[in-house]
Amino acid sequence: MVFAAGASPAWAEEAAEASADSSEAESYESVFVGNRIIVAADALEELDFIAGQDVIDREQIQRDLQGQIGELLVKVPGVSATSFSPGASRPILRGLDGERVRVLIDGLTTADVGNTSADHATTIDPLTVEQIEVLRGPTALLYGSQAIGGVVNVIDRRIPLALPEDGLRVDGMTAFDTATDLRSGGASLDVGLGEALALNLSGSYRETGNVQIPGFQLSEDLRADLLADAAEEEEEGEFEEAEELREAAEQEGFIPNSQAETWTLSGGLGFFLGDSRFGASVAYYDTDYGLVGNPEGGHHHGEEGEEGEEEEEEEEEIVTIGLEQLRVDAVADIALGEGFLSRLKLRLGYSDYTHTEFEGPEVGTVYDTESFEARAELVQTGGGVIGAQFSKRDFSAIGEEAFVPPNETTQFALFTAQEFDLSGGMQIEAAGRYERVDVESDVLALDRGFDLLSGALSLVFEAGENARGGVTASRSARAPAGEELFADGPHIATQQFEIGDPDLDKETAWGLEAFIRASADDADFGASVFYQDFDGFIYLNPTGEEEDELPVFVFLQDDVSFFGFEADAQFPLVQNDGFNLFADLRASYVDANLSADGNLPRIPPVSLLGALEAEFDAFDVRGEVQWFGKQNDVAEFETQTDAFALTNLYLSWRPLAGNRDVVFQLAGENLFNVTGRRHTSFTKEFVPLTGRNVRASVRFGF
């Protein structure tokens, strides 16, 4: 894959020329040129607090292939995952998730409800993704208050970005594995319809069974609790209940109800007129997945001793989610000439989303979300951007356990980013955003409005021909979401009783970050150290109480400080004709503390990754170890997690000498069958990570 910084239309020729001297992706817009993907910059590629990003291409997607975007990105420095279940896992950036991490598709939000709760899946299937950009820190300024922690921008080709070379382009991937009984495949077809029109058709299918694990499903502490409860039940003569508790405690080898099935379909048209392009697409996403129940908790209805209701209770312990989304997107990229403004970029998105939680065969709660988003950017000829953004979301939940009342959120924003050159190879980079957020619930007769101001200022310097460093100061603000304001009731999927606070204030954060990036020959190095001080940080905290036989969680607000660092280095160890050996090193750390000397819950521990990758003419071999430290800085009512390491091995074969986009790969993951529990997960006590897994995959592009 070839990346270009600063490329611009006319689409194919100019992008190809611009790519000749570039190796790093620094934008959001991909363009076909033969068998390559060219990344065309949005006039922001030289702004370092935006360009500080990781780009995951199709080669890495194939190597780390997972069904959910969160699990796919856990090897990126500074990224963890919610790991709620195999069917639902969102990314966590620098210890922040949910309403602070914005997941985008080609620059617009996914328009699902994945940000509202960890059990909700994100409507992205990696099988048809071209690349993923992970943007951290002050990047939030250009993408909204829900990106205060960072942005994950997923790029696909549902709207064609260029006429395919020779009039036709086919890309796809298929994969099978042993630990989840994975059966999957996805493909994308681009067809030129004349000299100015292109059609894209894409689709995917993924099915998995129950996840295999190394040993017991439950953690040692949870098993001990259940066995103690079983002994108590037996003493009271409740032999059937005691046996059920013992069976749950002794469950091993696989995770019950962890299966998932997903399919997607999309079609889009792209029209090219000189240096301008226009396009639209329609996409459908459908998934059904199981939610693993906590055997110590449970969701109870009816009176004890009534046989029919006891049977109903047993059925309701099996919870599954059926999710579907219809999405329509449109784009216009209009050339404005050679004046102060060079381009006008418009993006529109509409989504109709339905999410049903099933308790056994019965419908429990149905979530409906209808949303619209529009984004406009005026790109300056000399670099920089001025833009506006509007979004509206109508959210409703129907059912006995609709813990959030219907509410509507409207957002409008103006933003800009600029660069100013100084003497001595130094630059000042600045960005600002004003956002108005209104959240209202007619049912509760509540209406909250928030005015948010955010800004960032960077001093950037050149430390040699191929090295840049700098310091960024930022201020970010976020409005509380409808779920944080209005929640009040049992949430069956997470097995929690959640209580919001309609009086929550806006959340603000002051940040300071130092960074450096350098490259020499085939070596690359990057590092950043950051500090964020939050005023009025909103978080979901357990109280230790119970309501409706569920643990009570309340949304609280407190001052919190975050400190951490990320670093990565890739460098050659051996370089000969036909053989190269590279080292890949990565590290992440974050610490978060409440003002009252407490710890925030679910903060990821320190993590390290080390890998060696050997490249031959037609083969690549990569061995890696990813280590996660023990997390003992825990919040009240939170348990610790032990350290563990995952060892992986990948063998790739490119059978066609003239086409590097045809790759057969055999992957062995968690080779030593280690039990791992991700500290950031609500369900870590009873949903361990996958055991030893062998995956075979084929990626192709013609």
What 8-state DSSP symbol labels residue 88?
Answer: B
Per-residue pLDDT band at 138 (split at 50, 70, 90): low
- Residue 137's pLDDT band (boundaries 50, 70, 90)? low
pLDDT digits (tens, 9 = 90+) for 101-118: 989 998 888 888 777 778
DSSP single-letter state for residue 674: -
Q: How far apart are CA 428 and CA 418, in angstroms?
A: 8
Cis check: omega of the bond before 10, within 30 degrees of 0: yes
Give the model's confidence band at 464: pLDDT under 50 very low, under 70 low, under 90 confident, else very high.
confident
The lowest-confidence range among 45-54, 166-175, 587-596, 668-677 is 45-54
What is the chain's percent helix, strand, coil content, to nearest 5? 15, 55, 35
pLDDT for 47 equals: 54
Tokens matching residue 360: 């056994």
Q: How far apart are CA 501 and CA 471, in angstroms?
A: 37
What residues contact 308, with CB distance under 8 A and at least 6 apart? none
pLDDT at 3: 32
The pTM is what? 0.89
What residue type is assigned to position 676 of the chain?
G
Asked whether 603 and 588 are in contact (CB, 8 A), the reply is no
Lowest mean pLDDT among 136-140, 227-231, 474-478: 136-140
Q: Where are the alpha helices (DSSP H) in 453-602?
A: 482-486
The whole-angstrom separation of Cα 107 and Cα 519 is 28
d(CA 462, CA 659): 37
Q: At what angle do helices 239-249 and 220-235 cross, to 10 degrees?
A: 170
Task: Pull the structure tokens for residue 476.
Answer: 């970010």
> pLDDT band for position 42 (50/70/90)?
very low
Copy the structure tokens of residue 258.
């962890």
Q: Nearest to residue 66, comparing CAs of 143, 124, 111?
A: 124
Length of the chain in terms of residues written: 702
Distance CA 167, CA 266 (A): 20
- Model pLDDT for residues 395-450, shown as the tens digit of each residue: 998 887 778 889 999 999 999 988 888 888 898 988 999 999 999 999 899 999 99
Q: Considering only CA atoms, which of 54, 109, 96, 10 is closest in space to residue 590?
A: 96
* Confidence category of residue 4, pLDDT binned at 50, 70, 90: very low
Amino acid 49: pLDDT: 53
Amino acid (one-letter) located at 124: I
Residue for token digits 């070839």? 2
Q: In 3D, which of 537, 377, 474 has the Cα closest to residue 52?
A: 474
Beta strand 362-380 with 341-359 is: antiparallel
Mean pLDDT, the chain, rounded, equals: 86
- Say how far apart CA 571 and CA 613 lie, in whole Å: 10
Section 259-280 average pLDDT? 96
> What pLDDT does residue 596 have?
74
Rounded-to-integer distance, Cα 385 and Cα 377, Å = 6
Q: What integer pLDDT is reported at residue 609 of this predicted model?
A: 98
The string of DSSP letters for 145-157 reads GGGSSEEEEEE--
| % of the chain beyond a pLDDT of 90 | 62
pLDDT band for position 620 (50/70/90)? very high
- Residues 467-490 have a mean pLDDT of 91
Please choose, from the candidates 406, 335, 321, 324, the residue with its C-alpha nearest in 3D space to the C-alpha of residue 364: 321
For residue 302, is pLDDT > 70?
Answer: no
Q: Could you please report the per-residue DSSP string of 308-322?
A: HHHHHHHHHT-EEEE
Q: How far is it, in rounded angstroms, from Cα 408 to Cα 481?
A: 10
Q: What is the pLDDT of residue 462?
A: 87
Q: List the beta bridge partners of residue 241.
A: none
Does 300 score more than 80 pLDDT? no
Q: Prior bond to 614 cis, omega within 30?
A: no
Tell me the two tokens of residue 338: 């050679």
Nearest partner of 67 among 219, 180, 153, judged by Cα: 180
CA 120 from centroid of its chain's CA atoms? 12
Q: Which fold has domain 42-152+169-217+256-290+300-701?
A: Maltoporin; Chain A (2.40.170)
The 3-state DSSP class for residue 13 equals: helix
Top pLDDT among 511 and 15 is at 511
State pLDDT tens for residues 234-263.
999 899 999 999 999 999 999 999 999 999
- Flag whether pLDDT at 210 surpasses 90: yes
SS3 96: strand
Q: CB–CB of 702/690 below 8 Å?
A: no
- Mean pLDDT in residue range 651-657: 94
DSSP 511-551: EEEEEEEEEETTEEEEEEEEEEEEEEEEEEEEEEEEETTEE
pLDDT by residue (tens digit) across 165-194? 889 999 999 999 999 999 999 999 999 998
**Is residue 602 within 8 Å of 679, Cβ to Cβ?**
yes
pLDDT score at 139: 63
Percentage of the residues of the chain whose pLDDT score is greater than 70: 89
HSE-CB at 98 with a 13 A cutoff on CA atoms is 20
Q: Which residue has the higher pLDDT, 133 or 300?
A: 133
Residue 51's nearest CA partner among 109, 143, 156, 138 is 138
Q: Among all chains, which residue has been given the structure tokens 């796809």? A: 172
Rounded Cα distance, 412 and 109, in Å: 14
The per-residue pLDDT for range 5-22, each reduced to its tens digit, is 333 333 334 333 333 333
Type of residue found at 57: D
Report whether pLDDT(308) > 80: no
**Structure tokens, 136:** 């951290």
